[in-house]
């Protein structure tokens, strides 16, 4: 089986590629990203190194769509997984960039794929943020309530996939993961940032006291969910995928403190929260459990420890990484 991973340099894609390369019937994995592949294993995690089944290509989804379609026609992948997206909460700034990448480029790509008989499935990586803040775990039938341009763009892509399936039988599915984390993640994300701060003895700014409730799932569990969908031979479906019990951001940082044997109150300082942030993101994953038998297995403590070991190993490199988000096309 041949796989094409779009947005393949991202951490969640890398963890998925690792799992795919472990499958016995995998013959080729072509990974595509907007940047050159980084030289340090701190960011590639060594995935695909020395494996002639793995190939990385630098292609920008929005600006080099013709290069990407040529690549697809050349390799004829059985499965395409689209991780590529601009993804950050403060998407009101230059919001058109989010629509360019998250929906317009995806629509252009799919249009090229309509008549490709080699394609067994196109899996769109969605977002649980399309539900907005919820009082109880949201399931796939909940009325969406996206509260940012980012979330709106992701919902539009989901609906586009369903329309293609319903109108022409395009073999598409969507997975809406909860917040994910894992080794290799950008240092402005809460878990790796908190770990680095804890190791170097720097106070961690806990926005709003960490009261926001979110479901945090390790990238390894997301990879397993993706593989279960790809090999299900079911189409036109949306699957939530997350942990059974959400945590507050405070609880997440407490898990980091516990692992590093730090006093939480000394480690953190309370800062002002984001005014536009939803107070709770929580999803119901019972549908994918019932349909495909998948459920998250990696505990928060296990997942945090995996990231801790990565940060400790590459501390000298990671300390120089940006600790704030910068928008790029």
- Tokens encoding 22: 């472990």
CA dihedral 101, 103, 105, 110 (to 10 degrees): 150
What number is the average pLDDT over the span 128-144?
91
What number is the average pLDDT over the span 202-206?
93
Which residues of the chain form beta strands (DSSP E)? 2-6, 28-33, 54-58, 79-82, 121-125, 172-177, 179-181, 204-207, 213-214, 216-218, 238-241, 247-248, 268-271, 280-281
CA max distance for the chain: 60
Quick count: other Cβ atoms within 10 Å of Cβ 169? 10
pLDDT tens by residue, 47-70: 999 999 999 999 999 999 999 999
pLDDT tens by residue, 233-290: 999 999 999 998 889 999 999 999 999 999 999 999 987 766 555 566 789 999 999 9
Proportion of the chain above pLDDT 70, given as a percent: 95
- pTM of this structure: 0.93
Nearest-10 crossing angle of helices 190-200, 300-313? 60
Residue 64 CA: distances (Å) to CA of 71, 112, 163, 193, 314: 11, 14, 25, 32, 33
Domains along the sequence of the chain with CATH = 2-180+216-241 (3.40.50.720), 187-214+246-280+299-318 (3.90.25.10)
The separation between CA 7 and the C-alpha centre of its own chain, rounded to angstroms, equals 10
Q: Are the CB atoms for 45 and 9 separated by under 8 Å?
A: no
Residue 113 CA: distances (Å) to CA of 29, 155, 235: 18, 21, 16
């Amino acid at each position: 089986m041949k796989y094409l991973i779009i947005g393949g340099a991202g951490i969640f894609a890398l963890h998925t590629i690792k799992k795919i390369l472990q499958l016995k019937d995998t013959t080729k994995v072509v990974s595509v990203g907007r940047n050159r592949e980084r030289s340090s294993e701190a960011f590639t995690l060594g995935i695909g190194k020395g494996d002639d089944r793995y190939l990385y290509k630098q292609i920008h989804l929005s600006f080099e769509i013709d290069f990407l379609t040529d690549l697809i026609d050349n390799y004829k992948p059985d499965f395409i997984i689209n991780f590529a997206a601009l993804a950050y909460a403060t998407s009101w700034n230059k919001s058109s960039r989010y629509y360019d990448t998250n929906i317009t480029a995806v629509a252009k790509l799919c249009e090229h794929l309509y008549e490709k008989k080699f394609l067994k499935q196109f899996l769109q990586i969605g977002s649980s943020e399309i539900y907005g803040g919820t009082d109880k775990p949201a399931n796939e039938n909940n009325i969406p309530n996206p509260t940012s341009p980012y979330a709106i763009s992701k919902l539009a892509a989901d609906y586009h996939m369903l329309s293609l399936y319903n109108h022409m039988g395009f073999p598409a599915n969507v997975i809406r993961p909860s917040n994910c984390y894992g080794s290799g993640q950008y240092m402005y994300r809460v878990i790796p940032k908190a770990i680095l701060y804890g190791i170097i003895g720097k106070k961690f700014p806990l926005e709003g006291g960490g009261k926001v409730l979110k479901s945090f799932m390790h990238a390894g569990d997301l990879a397993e969910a993706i593989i279960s969908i790809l090999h299900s031979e079911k189409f036109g479906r949306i699957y939530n995928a997350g942990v059974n019990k959400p945590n507050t951001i405070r609880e997440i940082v407490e898990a980091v403190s516990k692992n590093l044997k730090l006093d939480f109150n000394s480690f953190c300082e309370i800062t002002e929260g984001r005014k536009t942030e939803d107070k709770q993101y929580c999803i119901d994953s019972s549908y994918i459990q019932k349909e495909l038998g998948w459920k998250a297995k990696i505990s928060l403590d296990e997942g945090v420890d995996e990231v801790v070991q990565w940060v400790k190993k590459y501390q000298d490199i990671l300390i120089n990484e940006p600790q704030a988000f910068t928008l790029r096309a």
